[in-house]
Amino acid sequence: MDNLQGCLYINQDEKIDQSVYFFALTLKGVTIIKPRQEHILDVATELFHRLGYFQTGIAEINRRAGVSKGVFYHYFPDGKLQLVRCVLQRDYDYSNTLMNEFFNGRDAETAINLFIDNLKNKINTPDYSTVRMSILFSEMMEAKDVDPEIVALAKRTYTMLEDHIEEKLSAAGMDEGTAVRKAKQINAMIEGGVTIGIIKESTEYLEIVSESLKWILSGSN
């Protein structure tokens, strides 16, 4: 899918002021250079996880990111709503890339377990730029005036895994109705395991899902 409007990164071929567009972060003696827009997204994502969308202000994002109000609005002229769209878009893009990689040439059980293992790693060593955005999506969907772009993106994000599983099971000879039901069941279990896992900082729920896969996939209904 195309990126949501306003979520495109800068054209690296442009003649630009490097000090404005790039951010240098030093961790354990290693300097990481990344586009400043991406750095703002990283900071905002962590704050959204910790404080929630409605409790996270632009001033706090700018303070944590070390950017001015002008720099923030250069990248996100429509403000915080545009920012959260970009955060959620990045989650979609990251998840889509992973699923395509894991499901390519593998059976359903192996592919799903690879995806679960990746999610467990993200919970064990939080990387807020890539961990699933279940809680943020839920918060945004409960807003009084739900942004239609976020609704559409949420639907695509939360049926993506389901679609991959159903396709694999159908290709392996399972009848369509059973494949659809099993895909929905596994998808719901994983999303629940991620949400509870993030809140409790535990991978136990995802481990239970992983242990249940063989039984779910081999059952007749």
CA 38 to CA 115: how far, in whole Å? 24
pTM for the whole thing?
0.74
Q: At 131, is the pLDDT very low, low, confident or very high (cuts 50, 70, 90)?
A: low
The predicted pLDDT at position 7 comes to 60
| Residue 161 domain flag | yes
How many independent structural domains does the chain possess? 1
| Residue 83 domain flag | yes
The predicted pLDDT at position 50 comes to 80
| Residue 51 domain flag | yes
CA 101 to CA 68: how far, in whole Å? 38
Res 135 pLDDT > 50:
yes
| Residue 13 domain flag | no
| Residue 2 domain flag | no
| Residue 117 domain flag | yes
The predicted pLDDT at position 216 comes to 94
| Residue 55 domain flag | yes
What integer best gives the mean pLDDT of the chain?
A: 81
Share of the chain above pLDDT 70, in %: 78
The pLDDT tens digits for 69-95 are: 999 999 999 998 888 888 888 888 888
User: What domain range includes position 37?
Assistant: 18-218
Find all residues with CB under 8 Å of 98, minimum gap 6, and list them.
Answer: 115, 118
Q: What is the CATH number of the domain that holds 69?
A: 1.10.357.10
